[in-house]
Structure 1
């Protein structure tokens, strides 16, 4: 089935109705849908509305509670603990983001640690929502184990995402959103299906030995970005997002694809900084403009590939798709309409 194009507001409404039909309250479904639709606007389709059937499939088998009453406890003026109660991940993420922003509004900096969660989508949507309100953020989550500790040959660490967002008054924020493996397993599966070799440094075989055979890699482990440094970063993310939040960590995290009926108990950390408390808006605007200019005026090593800031390509795509419509897989759109109960609208 070919791709389809749909207006942002129509996609947001459709995703919201699908989540409501799956058991979520409407206001909370809209919060979760906002994260997923923003993911598609950024071109992050693997973490966008295509996840709705996965989430609701786990709801049906008891792995996620669509009606979970997410609990937020403010333990200090700047610090909150969020109990996701095994709810839909993007809802837990949005509740944690709101709690971190509330702390930052009161104290200049705020943090929220969430437990009892599930896959919460990509980080970029949360960072953008915060940046649009003048907040810088550091956001991270733990994940199902796919990476072996450096020098080991058994998966003990998740491909834990981490992101940083910085607001830019009057312009696009600068957003970094990255997982900690060199390459995604989806890319390796594609190479295996086509019979093509895999670039060196992406993964190891089951014995922990470097390989360029994608089939051997699928039976092995993803390699962390930056070697032992990426491994160290993945460990520290799990300590912050998993251990300190009270969530599961390392091999204690349940793999949703192997046991969809079991609660994952993922953990997230959201740290927000009110940038308006650090400098007047006009000062921050001028400094960001100068910073961006220094990057953009870097001489090109390849004239066909201009120097860009982290997340800039995704921001450009977001602007285009807001003007012309969001491009999604036709099959994903059909499934979403079925879940929303309006497949007849085609």
Structure 2
């Protein structure tokens, strides 16, 4: 399998986005940075394999290649960003930097984004913020794929949620999860491979649990914790979109079905300059204590020892930094074609 180092991979993806017309300063490079970090963390469903779909949306008009962020400051610790339907992964990284700058000055900051598009995984944003010493909470709304409590039709997105805490030696805590049992991309991947899925992941169009990935794609995702998870998804959606002035709930189109439609997603980033509350060494020691507590808990047979959220992604990232990124040949061919 071909191997690229991080610099090569980022340059290749950035060229693909530039070829697709992304022209705002740094936006193609920032989108590449986020997606390559995602790939290096082993989150391949949201990594470099998404480039082709994003290029298609740029061509169709669902993402605006000429977008430039419009940033206002309603209060010293608040930033409101109109993303103009720009490349989501690049917009998110630029918004994160804007939030970190405000939080460094004020101690903490909130960033709200409207007219946003899909930005992929949250984990790379958590990592970049943690490397700079920030604790973070990040969420976004999405197209509906979950029924609200008591309903039998999609009305809620899966509202991905990220929480990060920084560690001085890079052993950050990073939680990146959706309110569905799994991300919808896992179903899409299983369908492409012709694989069955657990019947706890999704239902068919009639609301019956199914192991058929194709039937699940036509049905509903199941929320974590049943009604509680669905209610949390609704609350995160309305919190981000309501304050940002974005589309919410069933107002959001499914851009897989209508790639020319701009989804006007709402996104929220809360950042805390952790050193204002706890010295870096003290917070790192507490995270080490928490990791040790987890590791001391007896593991289930055949399972690794319990670990803090993000440990597996960080291990994959450090390995990829040292050894390079394995790129499936078909994906490399596609990226080289898109990069011209």
Distance 2:47 2:205 in 1: 31
Which residue number corresponds to residue 309 of structure 2? 310
Which residue number corresponds to residue 241 of structure 2? 242
Q: Closer, same or farther in 2 for the Cα pair 1:114/1:334, shift >3 Å?
A: same
Q: Secondary structure at the match of 1:147?
A: coil
Q: Closer, same or farther in 2 for the Cα pair 1:145/1:303, shift >3 Å?
A: closer
Distance 1:274 1:55 in 2: 33
**Residues 50-84 of structure 1: CA deviation (Å, up to 9, x unaligned):** 22221121121222111211111111111000000
1:94 and 2:93 equivalent? Answer: yes
Q: Closer, same or farther in 2 for the Cα pair 1:338/1:216, shift >3 Å?
A: closer
Distance 1:19 1:27 in 2: 11
Q: Closer, same or farther in 2 for the Cα pair 1:191/1:140, shift >3 Å?
A: closer
Which residue number corresponds to residue 322 of structure 2? 323
Distance 1:286 1:124 in 2: 22
Distance 2:60 2:189 in 1: 29
| Maintained 8 Å contact 2:167/2:280 | no
Distance 1:191 1:55 in 2: 20
User: TM-score, normalized by length of structure 2?
Assistant: 0.93
Q: Kindly state the Cα deviation for residue 200 of structure 1 after the two structures are TM-superposed.
A: 3.6
Give the one of 11, 14, 27 matched to 2:12. 14
Q: Secondary structure at the match of 2:26?
A: helix
Q: What is the root-mean-square deviation of aligned Cα atoms in Å?
A: 2.0
**Residues 285-340 of structure 1: CA deviation (Å, up to 9, x unaligned):** 22222222212222223365222211111110111111111122222211111111
**Residues 18-60 of structure 1: CA deviation (Å, up to 9, x unaligned):** 1112112352211111100000001111211222221121121
| Maintained 8 Å contact 1:256/1:262 | yes
Which residue number corresponds to residue 119 of structure 2? 120
Which residue number corresponds to residue 344 of structure 1? none
Which residue number corresponds to residue 206 of structure 1? 205
Which residue number corresponds to residue 103 of structure 2? 104
Distance 1:215 1:55 in 2: 22
Distance 2:73 2:6 in 1: 34
Distance 1:178 1:100 in 2: 21
Q: Kindly state the Cα deviation for residue 247 of structure 1 after the two structures are TM-superposed.
A: 1.0
- 1:1-40 aligned at under 5 Å gives the runs 3-25=1-23, 27-40=26-39
Which residue number corresponds to residue 47 of structure 2? 48
Distance 2:318 2:177 in 1: 21
User: TM-score, normalized by length of structure 1?
Assistant: 0.92
Deviates more, 1:242-251 or 1:292-301: 292-301
Q: Kindly state the Cα deviation for residue 105 of structure 1 after the two structures are TM-superposed.
A: 0.9
Q: Kindly state the Cα deviation for residue 185 of structure 1 after the two structures are TM-superposed.
A: 4.0
Q: Kindly state the Cα deviation for residue 194 of structure 1 after the two structures are TM-superposed.
A: 7.8
Distance 1:146 1:69 in 2: 30
Which residue number corresponds to residue 267 of structure 1? 266
| Maintained 8 Å contact 2:84/2:116 | yes
Q: Closer, same or farther in 2 for the Cα pair 1:290/1:66, shift >3 Å?
A: same
